[in-house]
Structure 1
Amino acid sequence: MTPSPPVGRIVVGGRSGSPRQETVLPGLALCALAVATSSAVHRGVPSVSVLMIAIVLGVVLTNVVRLPAMVQPGLAFSAKRLLRLGIVLLGLQLLLGDVLGLGAGMLGVVVVIVAGGIGSTLLVGRLLGIGATQRLLIACGFSICGAAAVAAVDGVVDADEEEVVTAVALVVLFGTLMIPLVPLAAAGLDLSEHVGGLWAGGAIHEVAQVVAAGGAMGGTALTVAVVVKLARVLMLAPVLAVVSWQHRRQPAGGPEGRRPPLVPLFVVGFLAMVVVRSSGIVPEAVLDVAGVVQVALLSAAMFALGCGVRLSSLRRVGPRPLLLALTSTIVVAGVSLGGVLLVS
């Protein structure tokens, strides 16, 4: 049996019996530097989230300089392993009581937003001739929780790197545009602060983008927007279970004939953290530390994903994913607004 590589190293190639190993440490160090830089920028510009800064930093860096090969294993480790650990800790942000406090009507709207957004995006993507994996990544990213959902789905279906970075780039682009547009539209429609917050939480892709838009509308809007968004985040677990089940049914059964678990382990961890947080047994000091660690892990993962976004590759992708992203944004925002007005 082939021995496991030592901690801090991964096997990346080489002849049988003499594998070539490369350490993940240079890439992890680069990610740590990026997280520190993103945090510093965030302190100067609090309205922009650390995660968004990290993504943009990765995109800019990889398109301005040629990153050395030695950092690639660490970037890959961050984009996969650290991302999953960050998603597990994301569960500590969720209190089931807060989510249930939205009421049956609004919870039903959240389910319709996610199901309708995914279903319509998959349908339109098929009509546009976009590949199944690419349209699934876009559908889940735009309907659930942005780049984290894209990366989580990639952990189940093992998509091509170009498909993942395209979906992440589109989430950043359209989610950022929604930050000023939703508050302006809410004001134009004369929505109350409460209703505007519900709409922002249901319509905007990333948690951080929801915070920015909700904060622009006021304290009440911010509070309800975050709760609605976290209810959408909670939908990540059942959606990934369905995606994994569908993937298991494929004849190939995943890479090298292996079938993914019906419920990925990091999804189980995410749900376990939700239960632990909702039990009230975790001290606030521990939650504060976990929150900092979660942001750091997801920021490192977002930076690593951003380092895979090469503008030349995006130009080769063509306009169809852009059109699908626009359609998905309109559908999610429209379903959210209609549902919010109906239950309010």
Structure 2
Amino acid sequence: MQNRRSFIKKSLTVGGGLLSSTLFSFSSSIKKEGMKPIMISTWNHGFGANEAGWEYLKEGGSALDAVEYGVRVPEADPKERSVGYGGLPDREGKVTLDACIMDHKHDCGSVAFLQGIKHPISVARLVMENTPHVMLVGEGAKQFALANGFEEEELLIEQSKKDWEKWMETSKYKPVINIENHDTIGALALDADGNLAGACTTSGAAYKMHGRVGDSPIIGAGLFVDGEVGAACATGLGEAVIRTAGSAMVVEYMRMGKSPREACEIAVKRIMNTHKNRMENLQVGFLALNKDGEYGGYGIRSGFNFAVVDKKNGNRMEDAPYKMEW
């Protein structure tokens, strides 16, 4: 796992020369001709997600498959301590997972407070495709997963257990989102047919209260897709995103004609205004992708980065603009 503190550095070196000098600039509105297919994903673990998703997109596959199978990569990686297998547990030492997925037709599925299942994103897709519901939670979500062929597994790896036991010595619950605890991977894709999709999956904030659910599985908060406009996803403190219906708000600003970057910035400013008396250590970042393949991101604080992959420039990391330094 890469050191999370590296995200607050002003420069980022990516091995193999994959960081192109021709990256899009976010200092001004993007007016370039959109490209498709394209996929964007939050944080460094979005790089691996993009690699997997691009295998589908480059062959003409669907955006929905790209985002699902893309985020399954960090879900299965024990070195990723904030997503899926290997994720840090809650206060009681339980790894609980949340995820949602959505396509261009407003079809969506979600699971929350799911335990013992490595790939909640795939369970969420089955909820979308095989049930009349949008969200299943807790034991009901687990029963649904097992009935559909998923295997129950122990998700608390030894290192996460040791970290939890050390935390229990003091039990100081002061999570710092963005430096040591990303809590989410969100992915958005536009395929060759012009269809959008998004996925979001997480093990949630480390050492959260047992039963806590953040924004990641909530359609309109952690993720929202409108095939006529665009898609958006969120990362950071979930409670702040939920209070403002963050991702839906970003899409609505794009509907009003704002660029993806502009829409994300407006949503960030709105969260800052709503939480002006609760700004200590508050970090939220948004990603957005419109139907033309234009993309953008914005964070409250420095350090938020994301991966982008397309045919022209390949897979690379970009730093999002922000309002405040840490």
- Shorter-chain TM range is under 0.3
TM-score for both structures, normalised by structure 2:
0.28
Please tell me whether Structure 1 or Structure 2 has the larger radius of gyration of its CA atoms: 1
Which protein has greater RCO, CA pairs closer than 8 Å, 6+ apart?
Answer: 1
Give the structure with the larger strand fraction. 2
TM norm structure 1:
0.27
